[in-house]
């Protein structure tokens, strides 16, 4: 496939128009006419991920987080971004990002997370005006379960090393709202949606305090681990069309933390 064909394939299941206005998605580095037979899939477009992709015979790297969030004022080849630019250009390696367009897609991050813990048909927690895509997900479990049991299910299904819970440890949960990655500001939407539990990452202290004071239990996972749960699904979506081999990469920007 050519790079432009990969971009078209991504757009078919995670339309780039779904990306938030502040986001940067699509082709980061490369030529739309370059050929790609094998595509590495990673959470972050770091030099180590690019090295692994090259070692595994990839001609492209698709990451969830974009390489560039802000316009570049210079290209310092000693910086992490500069190292990626230099290596990618020298190797004719395309670098592509599918971020908030993949978050809000029908098979994207939030729907994948919801499906893996058994939520029924999940809806967007904060839908767009057009009804296509949106932030987060909300849905019901088949039956109410003790919160400890549900947290264990999340930890296993999402391959988490930890999940921190704030709320009544004896409560049962039926309706769950979630947002993969940094979704601390969305807890009022979870409350309005009638959720019994809100799950996200990067919750600030005062957001947790406000959330629990509003009688909404909250669980916080690691940002990278929570979003990595959908990396395999992204690879499957791209490989389904044929003509392209996808390779989920093992490199993680942050390994398991040391807990004392």
The confidence score (pLDDT) of residue 70 equals 85
The confidence score (pLDDT) of residue 72 equals 86
User: What's the fold here for domain 109-223?
Assistant: 3.40.1390
Give the start-to-end residue ranges of the domains of the chain.
3-101+230-248, 109-223
Residue 66 in contact with residue 84, Cβ under 8 Å?
no
What is the mean pLDDT of the segment spanning 206-235? 95
pLDDT at 85 over 80: yes
The confidence score (pLDDT) of residue 159 equals 93
The confidence score (pLDDT) of residue 258 equals 67
Residue 180 in contact with residue 117, Cβ under 8 Å?
no
- What token pair was written down for 43? 């959470």
Separation CA 239–CA 98 (nearest Å) = 15
Under CATH, to which class is 3-101+230-248 assigned? Answer: alpha beta
- What token pair was written down for 175? 């309706």
pLDDT at 259 over 70: no
Q: In the predicted model, what is the mean pLDDT of the chain?
A: 94
Residue 164 in contact with residue 219, Cβ under 8 Å?
yes
Helix boundaries (H) for 29-98: 47-55, 80-90
pTM for the predicted model, two decimal places: 0.93
Residue 249 in contact with residue 53, Cβ under 8 Å?
yes
pLDDT at 254 over 80: no
Residue 208 in contact with residue 220, Cβ under 8 Å?
yes
Separation CA 154–CA 156 (nearest Å) = 5
3-101+230-248 shares its CATH topology with 109-223? yes
Helix boundaries (H) for 36-186: 47-55, 80-90, 100-103, 109-116, 147-157
DSSP 110: H
- pLDDT range class, residue 255, cuts 50, 70, 90: low
- Residue 50: phi and psi, rounded to 5, are -65, -40
Residue with the two structure tokens 């239990």: 217
pLDDT at 240 over 90: no
């Amino acid at each position: 496939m050519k790079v432009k064909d990969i971009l078209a394939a991504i757009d078919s299941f995670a339309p780039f128009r779904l990306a938030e206005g502040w986001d940067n998605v699509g082709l980061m580095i490369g030529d739309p006419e370059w050929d790609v037979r094998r595509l590495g899939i990673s959470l972050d477009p770091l030099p180590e991920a690019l090295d692994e992709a090259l070692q595994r015979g990839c001609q492209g790297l698709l990451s969830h987080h974009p390489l560039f969030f802000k316009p570049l004022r210079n290209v310092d080849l000693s910086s992490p971004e500069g190292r990626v630019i230099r290596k990618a250009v020298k190797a004719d390696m395309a670098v592509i990002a599918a971020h908030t367009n993949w978050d809000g897609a029908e098979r994207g991050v939030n729907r994948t997370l919801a499906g893996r813990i058994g939520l029924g048909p999940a809806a967007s927690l904060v839908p767009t005006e057009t009804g296509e895509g949106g932030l987060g997900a909300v849905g019901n479990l088949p039956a109410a379960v003790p919160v400890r049991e549900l947290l264990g299910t999340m930890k296993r299904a999402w391959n988490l090393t930890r999940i921190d819970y704030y709320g009544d440890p004896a409560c049962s949960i039926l309706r769950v709202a979630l947002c993969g990655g940094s979704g601390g500001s969305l807890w009022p939407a979870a409350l309005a949606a009638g959720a019994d539990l809100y799950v996200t990452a990067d919750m600030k202290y005062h957001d947790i305090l406000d959330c629990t004071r509003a009688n909404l239990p909250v669980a916080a996972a690691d940002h990278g681990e929570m979003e990595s749960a959908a990396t395999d699904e992204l690879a499957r979506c791209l490989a389904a069309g044929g003509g392209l081999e996808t390779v989920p990469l093992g490199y993680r920007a942050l390994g398991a933390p040391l807990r004392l």
